[in-house]
Amino acid sequence: MVTNTEVKELGHFINGEIVAGTSGHFSDVFNPSLGAVIARVPIATKEEVQSAIATAKAAFPAWRALSIGKRVEIVMKFRQLMTARMDALIDIICIESGKTIEDAKGEITRGLESVDLAINAPHLLKGEYSVNVGGNINAYSAKAPLGVVAAISPFNFPVMVPLAITTMAVAVGNSVILKPSERVPCSALFLSELWKEAGLPDGVWTVINGDKDAVNELLENPAIEAISFVGSTVVADYIYTTGSKYGKRVTALGGGKNNMIVMPDADLEQVANAFLGAAYGAASQRCMAISTIIPVGEETANKLVKVLADKIAKLKVGPYTDSDVDFGPVITKQSKDAIIGFIDRSLEEGATLVCDGRNPDIAKNSNGFYLGPTLLDNVKPGMEIYEQEVFGPARNVVRVDTLEQAIDLINAHELGNGVTIFTNNGAAARKFITEIDVGMVGVNVPIPIPVGYHNFGGWKRSRFGEGHMFGPDQARFFTKTKTISEKWFEENSESASTFAFPSNND
């Protein structure tokens, strides 16, 4: 429960068991709702990471050799255990991330979509076959796992993202090393216990806790074949550049400045309700959260801001134990201070404060890292709060005169994760879908996150590499293709040497 003040010393999960760290260095894990330390997570040394990689490498051949049907049976058992232990997992998520119960439950549900997709790995691993491509030669392709792969996950989705970037990798036959955020290690260790109970062979699944040194070893170690990362754009750029330098297959998903365009014909009541959850849910700590709402036309803007102000004033911030709260705290005090700094500087740059969440009532009687919802009007391109991703409940209103202006503004930004438009005009929606330079697009959908069997990934500096987080690209990313040309000679048949380049003319 949230009142638990016991400080636990955590470990790594290596070769099928929790092992203590040997570095002597730890990072504090906080309960953001209380502002209290609840655990200490070990920071792995380079040698510990190397040892974990060696264990994963040793486990790979037997796991690769196991039939896909047997591997999928283990994934199915893992899914059953997750649903059976959902309440315990929800509690862990809420305690270490500050999410509400409903938000944690939603995260697990979306994470299970990735598990469901991995259960369909046999279908996604099917190759191609051609008979007699020439000279009685048959050609076919087969997909093979890569070997040892690594996944690096962020704090804001302690379960969904790890499941999205590891489950398919396990199902197709790889050994997986997960490096979770040191802010939320408990969820990853809980998943480790479920994998163990599901029957996953020791060494196939590893959790190593650490900081940049651990990440660098994963990026540089020649035994790691691929890296999947989700986090900030700055770090995603580093992961992609460094991993690629060392010959890794890399997909690195970064941040987003996601926009909601509101056309004059839209129902503003519906728009406002959609915006609240998309903008402030999980204390706005989502890479797909709506950062900026862009009403088209001055009349639309004036009406919308008034409706939003009335609704935002009624939002409630608090701990997950309070069933009436809309969202909880941000992850750390450093995050809280940074968000307040963004708000303060935006006002200095000329933004107008509509709703001020810098000092909510709960913060006066709690050490939790609470911020209320802030809404800033008259934000303009060039302002810091417009250009940078703010991972907290400070949202913007940018006013434009036309849909064309809105599209041009969004396309000019370096990030292109998600975007949505609210309208009843089919022509406007079609123009928007066609011309917008963003990877995930919604029409009257506030958060355009695709379901688990569609690919998830932004454009521009929101994604580095060609892999995706959800969808069939997961199977492609974690496998390599072998193409075989096969011919069988009849007994006593004759053949002669040929020096022409092989062709299908025979």
Residues known to be catalytic: 287
CB distance 211 to 184 below 8 Å = no
Other CB atoms within a 10 A radius of the CB of residue 414 amount to 11
How many Cα neighbours within 13 Å face the side chain of 87?
2
CA distances from 128 to 134, 143, 471, 475, 483 (A): 16, 10, 20, 15, 9
DSSP state of 131: E
Q: Which two tokens stand for residue 487?
A: 């011919």
Backbone angles phi, psi at 501, to 5 degrees: -65, 135
Residue 30 neighbours by CB distance under 10 Å: 23
**What b-and-e string marks burial along 446-463, b requiring 16 or more CB atoms within 10 Å of the CB?**
bbbbeebeebbbbebbbb
Say which residues have a Cβ less than 8 Å from residue 123's Cβ, sequence separation at least 6: none
User: Long-range contacts for 336-343 (Cβ within 8 Å, ≥24 apart)?
Assistant: 336/369, 336/370, 336/371, 336/392, 338/392, 339/371, 339/390, 339/391, 339/392, 339/393, 339/394, 340/371, 342/384, 342/385, 342/388, 342/390, 342/392, 342/394, 343/374, 343/376, 343/385, 343/394
Q: What is the DSSP string of 158-198?
A: TTHHHHHHHHHHHHTT-EEEEE--TTSHHHHHHHHHHHHHH
What distance in Å separates the CA atoms of residue 301 and residue 312, rounded to the nearest whole number? 16
> Could you tell me where the beta strands, DSSP code E, fall in 4-136?
8-9, 12-14, 17-19, 26-31, 36-42, 129-134
8 Å CB contact between 263 and 422: yes
